[in-house]
Amino acid sequence: MIPFDFEYYRPESVEEAVRLYQELETAGKAPVWYGGGSELISMARVGNRRFGAVIDIKSIPECRTLGFDGERLNLGAALTLDELSASHKFPLLGQTAARIADHTIQRRITLGGNLASTIIYREAVLPLLLSDAELTTAGPGGLKKYAIRDIFRERLQLPKGELLVSAAVAREFIEAPYFHIKKTKNEKIDYPLITTDALIAGGNLRIAFSGLAAYPLRDVAAESILNDQRLSLEERAEHAAQFLSGVYLDDMNGSSSYRRFVLKNTVVNILESIKDAEMPCIR
């Protein structure tokens, strides 16, 4: 039970939602956006978050979109992980989403909620980072579009009061060969020791990690090492692991040295799979 009172609103348009936020903020209500609410409710119950109003975005059509517009797939921020997985629209995102929490929780966690989470893992962002997704937001100045690399730097850095409406991904990335490997300490469904997502685009390997660092990570310099065909597969993995050594987490799920070991072996497995399949980025 949440130990304080708050007001509940469910707007039916982006414009209404933005107007409500501004009015409630001016009135000192400290409003928050609400999608699935799993993290928000949990934090409020234990006294780690207070708010005077919630704005539920699930009735806003643009936040629930799921489909192609020409060569781009639009994904509403209020779509649940379960919906993303079941749709099979973006296989890498669907497979990643299907390994976040258990099935019951996947029906509540939304795409926008996972991206904006305070939990360090935020695994749903990995496919979006790899596919150069474009994020659409709404605020007092209307709709804005951001390249994800410009607005997601270790975390989602939206201006206060802006609503994440949707993400768009080009078809070329959706249809690209991909890999998803999740290593956990104990159970199949658990916080990741390391989750690795990768895809091949433009003849090059792109790769991103959750659990390796204290934030979701895609490093283009590390990718350059992995695509350096002057090196053997083992050398690429070793050099990349060394290059990333300054970011490794060291916590109860695994030491930094163990994460480095898991990273190197995971990367070697991916590179060998690409080579065996005779894909052009690995020779």
Domain range list for the chain: 7-56, 61-173, 177-276
- Residue 189 in this model has a pLDDT that exceeds 70: no
Q: Report if pTM > 0.85.
A: yes
Confidence of residue 232 (pLDDT cuts 50, 70, 90): very high
Q: Give the tens place of pLDDT for each residue, 50-103.
A: 899 999 999 999 999 999 999 999 999 999 999 999 999 999 999 999 999 888
Q: Does domain 177-276 have CATH number 3.20.20.10?
A: no
Per-residue confidence (pLDDT) for residue 279, from 0 to 100:
65
Region 196-223: mean pLDDT is: 97
Kindly report the average pLDDT of the chain as a whole number.
93
Indicate the range of 4-13, 147-156, 179-188 predicted with least confidence. Answer: 179-188
Radius of gyration in angstroms for the set of CA atoms belonging to the chain, rounded to a whole number: 20
Which pLDDT value is given to residue 36?
Answer: 86
SS (H, E, C) 108-175: CCEHHHHHHCCCCCCCCHHHHHHCCCEEEEEECCEEEEEEHHHHECCCECCCCCCEEEEEEEEHHHHC
Residues 6+ apart with CB under 8 A from 233: 268, 271, 272, 275, 282
How crowded is residue 235: how many other Cβ atoms within 10 Å of its Cβ? Answer: 12
- When pLDDT is averaged across residues 238-265 and rounded to a whole number, the result is 96
Model confidence at 172: pLDDT above 70: yes
pLDDT value, residue 2: 87
Q: Which CATH architecture has domain 61-173?
A: 2-Layer Sandwich (3.30)
CATH number of the domain located at residue range(s) 7-56 in this protein: 3.30.43
Mean per-residue pLDDT, 109-133: 96
Q: Among 41-45, 83-87, 106-110, which stretch is predicted with the lowest mean pLDDT?
A: 41-45
Q: According to the model, what pLDDT value does residue 32 have?
A: 95
* Residue 152 bridge partners (DSSP): 156
